Chains A and B, each alone.
Chain A
Amino acid sequence: MTEANYPQLRITPTRFLNPETTEDLLDKIFAVGGVRRMVLNGPNLPVTVPYGPARGAPNPHSYRRTIKVCGEDFELRVHVGDILLELEDESVIPAIKEACDAVFADKFPYGFGKGRFMRSNFTLSDYAKYGVVEDDRILGMSDPKSKQRPTIIQGTK
């Protein structure tokens, strides 16, 4: 079970991020280290047109592409709006703030908040919906039943 006392951060830029900016930011954050879990939140960029007469037609979108984070391929499926982080401990927060400053300094302002943004504990509703979840790190990040698995960034450990 994930301990509930890991610090969590939310980075909220005032604009949605391009894949290049996201790549740059994630590289800088992971270079700092100490990140346990991360979620990229934002509106979905569907593979096919979801509604209307063109429903089902391919939907080429320049923001939906594969980015490289610490050497790992990561398929971006959303237009990144928020970045949620769970950290090993609070000591890395200033370094992460510096990484954000470096990326956003010449672009636009951003919000940087500490709080609880991802659930860490298994609830009764989780059990009713998903049954027994083998790897409970996925809790509060995504649907455990989804076929799309999270990307594991190996890092330097």
Chain B
Amino acid sequence: MAYTPQYGPGTSRVAEVRRNQMNPNVKLQKMRSVTDEDLVLIMGHHAPGAAYGSAHPPLAEQGEPDCPIRKLVAPTEGAKAGDRVRYIQFADSMLNAPCQPYQRSYLEMYRYRGIDPGTLSGRQIIECRERDLEQYARELIESELFDPATVGIRGATVHGHSLRLAENGMMFDAVQRCILDDDGIVKYVKDQVGNPLDRKVAVGKPMDAAWLKENTPMFHSLVGTALRDDTEYVAYVQRIHALRTKYGFMPKED
């Protein structure tokens, strides 16, 4: 019998969102569009239109040693071309952002190849070859995993995920990389590390509170779904906790 991954326990909507985000067979809903140039400007790794920097010659030119692993694993486009490794980092507000750092790492490991995610409490960085990065970053920004107000693209000075929102609903950002413009659209005025951009880069309208509550993978007893309301989830967490605590002695389920 073929193994079918379950991705996670739970009967609540939050648990369902978590499973859907992690499952590579579920197509992420496209919510907005950003151009190639916009993407390059926000990330700030190279000038729009400039060639990708390279870390080594293309694999076809440099001659690969005879290696069974290399025969098994097909290189990604970026690795094939010898691109440099670059990053994009997201900060997710604890107030019902549509993704969350641990969840990001899980879903990226299920969905993408050749990546190195780094997970912290309020931010998550993904490193990979530049060509692949642009492809992945596009999906992360254009899809339901992004909300212009409660998710920030922040390379440095990321503080804000656990703070109250501003009056206009934007997550706190000491560097104010993005603003909610008069037309109701969030625009980046600085790249992800805080260098000013020559023009504003629009990333769409903030999602409303009802949509965020319905599409967040976070439990939150005050502004969303409480973890205790999902008894299956709690039972699973308790079981893992018990087994891990007993591990090494004689892990045995009662």
Give the residues from 1 to 39 in chain A that come closer than 8 angstroms, CB to CB, to chain B: 13-18, 21
Contact between chains at A54 and B164 (CB < 8 Å) = no
- Given known contacts A49-B194, A79-B172, A54 and B165 CB-to-CB distance under 8 angstroms: no
Contact between chains at A14 and B164 (CB < 8 Å) = yes
Say which one of A56-64, A90-98, A114-122 lies at the interface with B: A56-64
Interface residues on B, range: 20 to 34
Cβ of A53 under 8 Å from chain B: yes
Binary contact readout B143-163 vs A (1 if CB under 8 angstroms, 0 otherwise): 000000000000111011001
Give the residues from 38 to 61 in chain B that come closer than 8 angstroms, CB to CB, to chain A: none
Cβ of A46 under 8 Å from chain B: yes
Contact between chains at A54 and B195 (CB < 8 Å) = yes
Across chains A and B, the number of contacting residue pairs, with CB separation under 8 Å, is: 71
Cβ of A44 under 8 Å from chain B: yes
Contact between chains at B167 and A62 (CB < 8 Å) = no
Interface residues on A, range: 20 to 34
- Set of chain B residues within 8 Å of A59, measured between Cβ atoms: 174-176, 194
- Given known contacts A43-B159, A49-B175, A54 and B194 CB-to-CB distance under 8 angstroms: yes
| Distance A156 CA – B175 CA, assembled complex (angstroms) | 38
Which residues in A have some Cβ–Cβ distance to B below 8 Å?
Answer: 13-18, 21, 43-46, 49-55, 57, 59-63, 79, 81, 107-108
Q: When A and B form their complex, which 4 residue pairs have the shortest distance between CB atoms, in order from nearest?
A: A52-B156, A54-B194, A49-B194, A52-B193
Which residues in B have some Cβ–Cβ distance to A below 8 Å?
Answer: 155-157, 159-160, 163-168, 172, 174-176, 179, 193-196
